[in-house]
């Protein structure tokens, strides 16, 4: 199948074992990515996730309701061919991670950030051997090179499929540390998503929230949770 079709043309969706993993067939025909590559995923759990999305489609395809399929396409068509560049892009978040930059005031926000983010810095210290430097304000404070090297090494170990999910975890939360904590099962994805919203929630409490901002946040949350679901399906 080349690209997205507009109308549903199949009846039966099946998961089939093939060389290199699993694929999805529609009435016996294996699906392909938008770039016409074979859509083969490494685990049965992920293949089942994709098949679930294809079975759930109505008469007209809705790509926005197929996050796992879109992520699998991206892993094969985009990330696989530029894995090193994506790795560096995401690892660079470690030197200016959101959870390391704190408000100077008011006191209530300072306390909220510390309560939410200090345990994450403690987790980094336990896992990677060094505690990230937390600072006030927005002026860049470099992190220890050895810590950044350890963080980068963990990102570099991810497969193309894992890296695709990890990209959304970082991009949606704005934090490499939060994304790594998801992978480590430090807390549930929903709990870690809420941790990423400390500053946003504070601003909303002070000034209110408009409908457009609410919709954008909901979209980011869905992308974050879908990425976590995609990643964990790769571990089964």
Q: Is the pLDDT of residue 2 over 60?
A: no
DSSP readout, 58-116?
Answer: -SB--GGG-HHHHHHHHIIIIIGGGHHHHHHHHHGGGGG-GGGEE----HHHHHHHHHH
Are 164 and 75 within 8 A, CB to CB?
Answer: yes
Q: Which residue segments constitute the domains of the chain, with CATH numbers given?
A: 13-65 (3.30.2180.10), 82-234 (1.10.3580.10)
Q: Indicate the pTM of the whole model.
A: 0.94
Span 205-214, pLDDT tens digits: 898 888 898 9
- Cα dihedral across residues 70, 213, 191, 129: positive or negative: positive
SS3 10: coil
Question: Mean pLDDT throughout 161-188?
Answer: 98
Distance CA 181, CA 204 (A): 26
Per-residue pLDDT at 139:
93
């Amino acid at each position: 199948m080349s690209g997205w079709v507009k109308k549903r043309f199949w009846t039966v969706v099946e998961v089939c074992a093939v060389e290199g993993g699993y694929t999805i067939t529609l009435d016996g025909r294996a699906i392909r990515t938008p770039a016409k590559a074979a859509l083969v995923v490494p685990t049965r759990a992920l293949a089942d996730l994709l098949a679930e999305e294809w079975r759930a489609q109505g008469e007209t395809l809705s790509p926005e309701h197929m996050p796992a399929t879109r992520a699998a396409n991206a892993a094969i068509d985009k990330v696989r061919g530029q894995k090193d560049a994506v790795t560096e892009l995401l690892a660079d978040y470690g030197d200016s991670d959101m959870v390391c930059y704190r408000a100077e005031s008011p006191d209530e926000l300072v306390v909220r950030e510390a309560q939410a983010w200090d345990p994450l810095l403690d987790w980094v210290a336990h896992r990677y051997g060094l505690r990230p430097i937390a600072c006030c304000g927005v002026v860049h404070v470099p992190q220890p090179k050895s810590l950044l090297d350890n963080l980068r090494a963990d990102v570099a170990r991810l497969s193309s499929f894992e890296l695709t999910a990890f990209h959304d975890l970082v991009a949606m939360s704005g934090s490499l540390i939060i994304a790594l904590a998801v992978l480590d099962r430090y807390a549930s994805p929903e709990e870690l998503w809420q941790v990423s919203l400390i500053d946003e929630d504070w601003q909303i409490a002070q000034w209110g929230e408009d409908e457009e901002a609410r919709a954008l946040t909901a979209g980011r949350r869905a992308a974050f949770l879908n990425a976590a679901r995609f990643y964990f399906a790769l571990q089964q």
